[in-house]
Structure 1
């Protein structure tokens, strides 16, 4: 196909057949990728880390997002701030991606020196009339929700981030997630487009056949299922599922815990998210192979182990919070066919490895699941780039959230004039 005959980004997104997958060009084209980064990662709120990334004053977490880079710092007053990783002299990067600890932020090029509050403190050879006060680091809008550090690189940050914060803060509050530390963190570069990573995360049609570790802690009905033509045995299992859910919710709500599903996934929502407290299968305690807590030191001041799984989705992240630990994952797009997935396992700040928890028991479910998902995304991406690919129909029972994501994606492009 000649360049002149290529469909525009808008035509591809809004020309999708409802209830069907996106066209392959939306996953593979470089121009589409660059627009996606600009719209969905520079103009929307995104998850960029957790408070335990910067536990002490002077700690810095540098996160690259497309051509942009940000410095997440904890300042001397224990506040978490974010700054553009650009020296106000000639633009050099102050820090490479990753974590470090500093007294001040010093540009490696000409040694312009910034306090953690962003102010420019020291320069040489600029003369007595040079005004440092207007050359501080450029701030990045930041919200802390539980342990989650959300940032927005746009000057016009979506105001509906307030809804996510108001919804999630009381759900996370019992776990006191700011009093956690990172027990383990891992990175995977998945060989697929970022939208395929999110689509894969939004459905569990594939889970029963590909995620034996993850499904050990999920009730199978939570994967989604076709309710038509159920056998008597399947109907009894469904009735038992509803009864178990009702009993769990009743018990949790008596303890003052929020359980209901809340979702803001419609095309008009700039800040897209969903949350719910899900029942854990088996022993009902945690996402582990034996469904018991991996850490005997529970989060916050909790005493009860069977609190289910408080999950949260956003358009670049997914979180699972149990009584004993939390798993937080977020994505950064690297190329049309490459997506970085960062995952952090959080435990109580006082939990001791080998005493309170075994690291393998804590991490084995999501280490395996992430690796399996990376393989699935890679094979899915390769198929979407095959000339024979035609978007197929979604299951109306198990892929509802994939359809909603596709609708939201097209609408947000339109909202930004694409």
Structure 2
């Protein structure tokens, strides 16, 4: 059988080309170059992935008090997330129902009511129009509420869905994750730091890079201080048999201890087998075993809850298509990936600590953020190198390691399956 020729970057792709790209995808290999380069593929990603699935956008402590708000841009959609007077969290399209002005320009702030800067139409914190001058006696304010966006608060992690009918399986994901996440009390925490970086690369390269640690040795000296080497994934063989067995025993013993403390730890892995793909597992950290810091000790001496032991390893929670999170005894670090263009991606990292922790007494921002600030910058460089490489005419999809890159393949399988379903719905 003749080998399929690689499909090169074409500025004017179509649904037909998307179908061709999807059909030609070789399992166990990276994607064809247009998936990372072509503006029309990017538009399909936004329409069929980011506007149809649950995406992670924020943590609840970002809107801690009534009137606190944040805005998030997802493609052409500006979303306003606000804490209402009853302490509920609401999400709306950040668009006035009068003539379409953006309501809130800042990324975050606090307000009493939502007032359009153009003609001062005013909405309460539940999206009801409460004031609109000069509209006549027959004008009905109740017909002009802000357009709602589906929002779910999963134990302090805020997910939105822009679809009219969001994927229903997310309810099951939230229910299964609750016992894992709830003990860390993220809803009651506070934001200690947030850092945005722009990677000059396609969002899928950002996610693929996150889904493996094949690259960690030699690239992430700060991160690997707290990670067991054999937790990265290894090809089985006599040279590492003893080390792998030792690591597996440490995991087994740690899980038994944590489960006895009421902290679920077993792996749940459904990254490519459901619409709302996810994965979680609590794994031991090396050395002191307390936190992802330079000395592996807690970054915040005031723990998130009354755990009784600071050495709880790290609970990882990954969601498709755009997030990963690490829950430790003393802090939570969350990552949100938002595409900007075919070759630019926003990576937003948020660190949360106990709400009563005092900066300079219980923690310092520098120590709290040092490992992941360094790691994010290193990953940014790797993503940008890969983006430059896939743009070369010499690029061909390469094979994934079955021992260290299985979760990259799971991401690509999920992405291809969901994009294929989206394309099919277009007729």
Q: Report the TM-score, using the length of structure 2 for normalisation.
A: 0.95
Cα deviation for residue 129 of structure 1 reads 1.3
- SS class of match (1:369): helix
Q: Select the residue among 177, 184, 198 that pairs with 2:186.
A: 177
In the alignment, the residues of structure 1 paired with residue 336 and residue 146 of structure 2 have an alpha-carbon distance, to the nearest angstrom, of 26
Q: Select the residue among 289, 297, 305 that pairs with 1:292.
A: 297
Q: Select the residue among 381, 387, 394 that pairs with 2:400.
A: 394
Q: Select the residue among 378, 384, 392 that pairs with 2:390.
A: 384
Aligned to 2:256: 250
Aligned to 2:365: 359
Q: Select the residue among 345, 350, 353 that pairs with 1:344.
A: 350
Asked if structure 1 preserves the Cα contact closer than 8 Å seen for 2:13 and 2:38, the reply is no
Cα deviation for residue 13 of structure 1 reads 2.6
Q: Select the residue among 84, 93, 100 that pairs with 1:84.
A: 93
2:336 is aligned with 1:330 = yes
| 1:300-358 per-position Cα deviation (integer Å, ceiling 9, x unaligned) | 23221011111111120110000000100101100011000000000000000111112
Q: Aligned in 2, Cα 1:3/1:209: closer, same or farther, shift over 3 Å? A: closer
Q: Select the residue among 201, 206, 211 that pairs with 1:197.
A: 206
- SS class of match (2:198): strand
In the alignment, the residues of structure 2 paired with residue 365 and residue 123 of structure 1 have an alpha-carbon distance, to the nearest angstrom, of 50
Cα deviation for residue 371 of structure 1 reads 0.4
Cα deviation for residue 417 of structure 1 reads 2.6
- SS class of match (1:353): coil
2:282 is aligned with 1:273 = no
Asked if structure 2 preserves the Cα contact closer than 8 Å seen for 1:14 and 1:410, the reply is no
Q: Select the residue among 106, 114, 120 that pairs with 2:115.
A: 106
Aligned to 2:59: 50
Asked if structure 2 preserves the Cα contact closer than 8 Å seen for 1:253 and 1:259, the reply is yes
- SS class of match (2:135): coil
- SS class of match (1:207): coil
Aligned to 2:222: 213
Cα deviation for residue 4 of structure 1 reads 8.3
| 1:152-184 per-position Cα deviation (integer Å, ceiling 9, x unaligned) | 011110001012201111111111111111111
Asked if structure 2 preserves the Cα contact closer than 8 Å seen for 1:10 and 1:410, the reply is no
- SS class of match (2:324): strand
Which stretch of structure 1 is more off in the superposition, 399-408 or 315-324? 399-408
In the alignment, the residues of structure 2 paired with residue 287 and residue 14 of structure 1 have an alpha-carbon distance, to the nearest angstrom, of 41
Cα deviation for residue 137 of structure 1 reads 0.3
| 1:80-133 per-position Cα deviation (integer Å, ceiling 9, x unaligned) | 010111111111110114001111111111111000010000011101111001
Cα deviation for residue 242 of structure 1 reads 1.6
Cα deviation for residue 266 of structure 1 reads 2.4
| 1:256-281 per-position Cα deviation (integer Å, ceiling 9, x unaligned) | 210110011225x1111100001101
Q: How many residues align?
A: 414
Asked if structure 1 preserves the Cα contact closer than 8 Å seen for 2:12 and 2:40, the reply is no
Structure 2 gap segments, 5+ residues each: 1-7
Cα deviation for residue 404 of structure 1 reads 1.3
Asked if structure 1 preserves the Cα contact closer than 8 Å seen for 2:61 and 2:186, the reply is no
